[in-house]
A and B are shown apart, each in its own frame.
Chain A
Amino acid sequence: MRVLGGVAILQAGWIAVSALVPRKRTTQPTDGPGVMIAGPLERFEPGSVTAFGDGRFYLARLEDGGFLAVHRKCTHLGCSVPWIADEQRFACPCHASAFDIHGDVINAPAPRPLDLFPVTIENGIVKVDTGRLIRRKTFEPSQAVRA
């Protein structure tokens, strides 16, 4: 009886898990619409930050001309961080975390820099792959993409 009961529980659990899994697979494509064209290189001034993709990420052009696509989600508790141009920083409204133009942490409690989307530059056109997020521990100049 116990063995049968165990088998029944295993079966029920297996059915429950498989009911959850396929739906996740079908929703995955909607998570990232894939590669997005941001625009021609020269449209972005060095030292500027532009919001994109309904605000899903910011395209930051560093003073040296490098590009970073910074995810808008605070690494602390997931709030959307607005870019405050006057103070040259991303300021999280929820717990006062702040990040510089590289997405690097200026103010705790955020535990790590803002995540990045991969940037590519083809024929002078900046493209961002919003389907893949890159986590990082600190900002390194090699993360910026240059023409």
Chain B
Amino acid sequence: MPENNTNNQRFRSSLILHLRPMLVPARAIRFTHTFGLGGMALVLVLLLMFTGILMMFAYEPSPERAWQSISSFQQDVLFGRLIRGVHHWSANLLIPVALLHLLRVFLTGGFHGRRSSNWLIGLATLFFILLSGFTGYLLPWDQTAYWAITICTEMLGLVPGIGPGLQQAIVGGSEIGSATVINFYALHVAVTPMALIVLMNWHFWKIRMAGGVVLPGGPTDDPRNAYRSVPFKPDLLLKEAVVTVVLIALVLVIAIVYGAPLGEPANPGISPNPAKAPWYFLGFQELLIHFDATFAILVVPLFVAVALVSIPFLSYDGEIAGDWFLTPKGRRLAIVAAITALIVVPLGVLIDERVIGPGGWLPGAAPLISNGLIPFAFVLAGVTGFYVLIRKYFAANRNEAVQSLFVLLFVAFAVLTATGVWFRGAGMTLVWPWQM
């Protein structure tokens, strides 16, 4: 047996543990350096795959059978309710965790030089995480699912030009029905998981190639020379195990206490009031209340996508990276940006709702101008003014200014999403959360 034992050990050390380096910089494994967000995202994806496969044995993807098959899975299958609860809450946690991970990487400057390609892989991963959430949303076929997907696909149909064709292709007909369920099911159980497996492995490999987590001193320096190193086993392994166990415990507790909601079966004749998109798209639904569809569904998302993709390729004053908010001034300016967004966006929502009203800024003109071009130009001017202010008045370098702008837009979108989730009641009018 001793020979077998060494073989076993050799196998473990060569394969499993070589996913990681033998030594890691002590600075890199501080919990507050990354908050373990990337690792949490991986744990959640694994939980989703495990519970998802279990549910595939029960789920029947058709409008007639879908709701019933989930209902009986929850009632008749051992731990059925728990398995679906874990799936539901892992999915709902994965989106904020992935977004916070993106924020962490951005705020520590982890996108310069050889990390730039991995920033793009990360964005592609985020796209498939959102697509996964969106396609999974319809499958329970209850009222919430049916109407959220109706709202979203109709939003897509409002895009000028390609919109109606795209909507037709995704829905597979003029109304949400059996073709839609099959489309979403195939995307949800085959396309998005495969894409995620490929992208995530690529993502991890790229991190290794870049020398691990980004640290001060520039990503091109070899961090092993600059920092005290500690062995991966047990130092990092222990921390990762703790984060994993705590996260799984959290998901289990939420799943046991709240379960996964399953409302009345879908009824195409009766819309719930209010009818809302999945919560992570409510920022766009909120935009649609304030802007003409062309801007809310096409121009703004296009701007966001182009901005996110171009982040590594803007011109910067050097590759400042590794510390949170890059510099002490960067931290101050990020706080300025966050406070600005927290004040300006709610004010903007209120003013547009109460003072300007649905007619727009030029009630006589076409909605594209009065509700689109004019307010959009106004917002664009405000954002540009903010950037100039940060650069000139606060004398920030390019890295700090771009970071401040990013925080402004990130918080602005978070506020819009929160407005859609907690402050929109019947008829999508503004209400307090406790009046809903």
Contact = CB atoms under 8 A, between A and B. Distances in A.
User: Is B one of A's binding partners?
Assistant: yes
Interface of A: 20, 23-24, 27-28, 30-31, 54-56, 72-73, 76-80, 82, 92-96, 107-109, 111, 133
B174 A31 contact: yes
A23 B172 contact: yes
A79 B173 contact: no
B428 A24 contact: no
Given A93-B271, A93-B426, A94-B274, 10 more contacts: A23-B182, A27-B172, A30-B178, A31-B175, A54-B268, A80-B269, A93-B272, A95-B289, A95-B427, A107-B358
Given A78-B153, A109-B358, A96 B428 contact: yes
Contacts of A111: 158, 293, 367
B367 A96 contact: no
A15 to B, nearest CB: 14
24 contacts: A20-B169, A23-B182, A24-B172, A27-B172, A27-B178, A27-B179, A30-B178, A31-B175, A54-B269, A55-B270, A72-B269, A76-B154, A77-B154, A78-B151, A78-B154, A79-B147, A80-B268, A94-B151, A94-B274, A95-B289, A96-B428, A108-B359, A108-B367, A109-B289
B275 interface: yes
A109 B177 CA distance: 26
B320 to A, nearest CB: 40
B33 to A, nearest CB: 41
B177 A27 contact: yes
Nearest 3 interchain pairs by C-beta: A93-B273, A55-B269, A78-B154
A132 B172 CA distance: 17
Counting contact residues on chain B (CB < 8 A from A), the size range is 20 to 34
B271 A94 contact: yes
A23 B150 CA distance: 21
B425 to A, nearest CB: 11
A93 B274 contact: yes
B41 interface: no
Contacts, number: 81
Contacts of A73: 175
B429 interface: yes
B155 interface: yes
Contacts of B151: 77-79, 94
Q: Pick from B155, B173, B271, B273 the residue with the most CB of A within 10 Å.
A: B271
A109 B169 CA distance: 25
A97 B163 CA distance: 21
A54 B28 CA distance: 62
A61 to B, nearest CB: 21
Given A20-B169, A94-B271, A79 B175 contact: no
A79 B358 CA distance: 19
A79 to B, nearest CB: 4
A77 B150 contact: yes
B298 to A, nearest CB: 14
Contacts of B426: 93
Given A77-B151, A78-B153, A93 B275 contact: yes
Interface string B234-276: 0000000000000000000000000000000000111111110
A108 B367 CA distance: 10
A55 B269 CA distance: 6
Contacts of A55: 268-270
A80 B289 contact: no
B269 A93 contact: no
Contacts of B359: 108
Q: Pick from A23, A55, A93, A108 the residue with the most CB of B within 10 Å.
A: A93
Contacts of B153: 78
Contacts of B169: 20
A93 B425 CA distance: 10
A95 B290 CA distance: 12
Q: Pick from B172, B275, B358 the residue with the most CB of A within 10 Å.
A: B275
Contacts of A80: 268-271
Nearest to A17: B169
Given A78-B150, A93-B426, A111-B367, A24 B273 contact: no
Interface string B349-361: 0000000001100
A31 B177 CA distance: 9
B178 A79 contact: no
